[in-house]
Amino acid sequence: MKNITKIKVALYEPDIPQNTAAIIRTCACLGATLEIIEPCGFLLSDKRFKRVVMDYMDEKEIKIYRSSEHFFKSKKNQRVILITTKGSESYLDFKFDKNDTILFGRESAGVPEKIHKLLKNRLKIPMKSNKRSLNISSSVAIVLAECLKQTKFN
């Protein structure tokens, strides 16, 4: 990787260990830093988590925040972009920066309304109108690929 600064993917209180493990693998393979906002709905020692993450978990590339308050305090001078089914702008129409943090909500509930109100940039992945949502690990891969396309290869 040429860039010292990396795109960061943040997960808000993830609750499915297999999804988080798959996202760790995606971030490891594509060179993104993963940030996890606790509490998680599982332990990192969960056997379902370990089965999927295999040997891709590099603690140097994963940052854990004890709460959303700690997370947002550390991001006060950085741009955080929420990916949400409630967004009005497509991620494809957005200009990403290599310093961005892309936030994904909890699989079962997204993020609370207070976080929606806190963030200026709320993007969606366009889908067929009769479909509810994509799996979070697929969503991370889709949006991260676009971020890298815009920032890494410029």
pLDDT mean values, one per 10 residues, the chain (154 residues): 70 92 90 93 73 64 92 95 95 95 94 95 94 92 95 67
**Beta strands, E only, the chain:** 8-12, 33-37, 62-65, 80-83, 89-90, 101-104, 121-124
Q: Where are the domains of the chain?
A: 8-151
Does the reported pTM lie above 0.95?
no
Q: Which pLDDT score, from 0 to 100, does residue 56 have?
A: 60
Q: Which pLDDT score, from 0 to 100, does residue 59 have?
A: 62
Q: Which pLDDT score, from 0 to 100, does residue 154 have?
A: 47
Q: Which pLDDT score, from 0 to 100, does residue 144 have?
A: 96
Q: Which pLDDT score, from 0 to 100, does residue 6 have?
A: 82
Q: Which pLDDT score, from 0 to 100, does residue 1 have?
A: 40
Q: Which pLDDT score, from 0 to 100, does residue 105 have?
A: 96
Q: Which pLDDT score, from 0 to 100, does residue 2 have?
A: 46
Q: Find out whether 16 and 43 touch, Cβ atoms under 8 Å.
A: no
Closest CA to 143 of 18, 30, 5: 30
∠ CA 154-79-64, rounded to 5° = 105
Q: Which pLDDT score, from 0 to 100, does residue 73 have?
A: 96
The DSSP annotation for 92-112 comes to: GGS---TT-EEEE-BTTTB--
Q: Does domain 8-151 have CATH number 3.40.1280.10?
A: yes
